[in-house]
Amino acid sequence: MKTATEILDGQILLIDKPLKWSSFQAVNKLKYALKRELSLPKKFKIGHAGTLDPLATGLLIICTGKFTKRITEIQGQPKEYTGTFKLGATTPSYDLETEIDENFSINHINEALINQILPHFLGEIDQKPPVFSAIKKDGIRMYEHARAGVEMEMESRKTTIHEFEITRIDLPEIDFRVVCSKGTYIRSLAHDFGKALESGAHLTVLRRTKIGDYLVENAVSPDEFEKQISSYE
């Protein structure tokens, strides 16, 4: 475990964020554990390098001290995700945060069609972020507009999909692995993939497994991190 001096000088901490935790909650858990156990100052620098939605799990990189200056650099590195799309239905949030709003046939979908569509999502693509996102418009986050029932048009953005493979097909579910650039919304990828299949789709499982060379296999949960600090002498 790190010393107070090392934390203040700067560390990169790898956390495996649990389901339904916000990234903010995970940072706060570490912040208070470090302050309590290492007698750190009330205010010390700590922050995460890339938000994970509450319904996603996996790698959350948390930087402390002088290493918070590296957050922008880390955020810019390619990210790897695994997860599940459910075909035949859409939701306003493109995931399980909201209820299904429309159902579609999947009778015409088979493995051959899925593999035929796949290459269209490789390389640089145009992607519209979900209306249920943290992007700000008129000073208000888009998900606040959406939850208030205010319709807002999202503008397309350029993003890059470096790798995209289907790892399991068990309709209506398909599992995937994707490596993408900063700013890619996997929820939007699910939605657009469903449209390309002339059906619908939404994201039901998402796990971030890698950021640059940092792996989730080397991460610990917030609770495990707290236990490690508490047992440190």
Active site (catalytic) residues:
53
The encoded tokens of residue 128 equal: 């519209």
> Angle, to 10 degrees, between the axis of helix 222-230 and the axis of helix 23-38?
0
Report helix, strand or coil for 210. strand
Cross-strand partners of 159: 125
The encoded tokens of residue 33 equal: 């554990």
Upstream peptide bond of 129 is cis (omega within 30 degrees of 0): no
- Tokens 């609770």 sit on residue: 223
CA atoms within 13 A on the CB side of 118: 18
Say how far apart CA 153 and CA 214 lie, in whole Å: 35
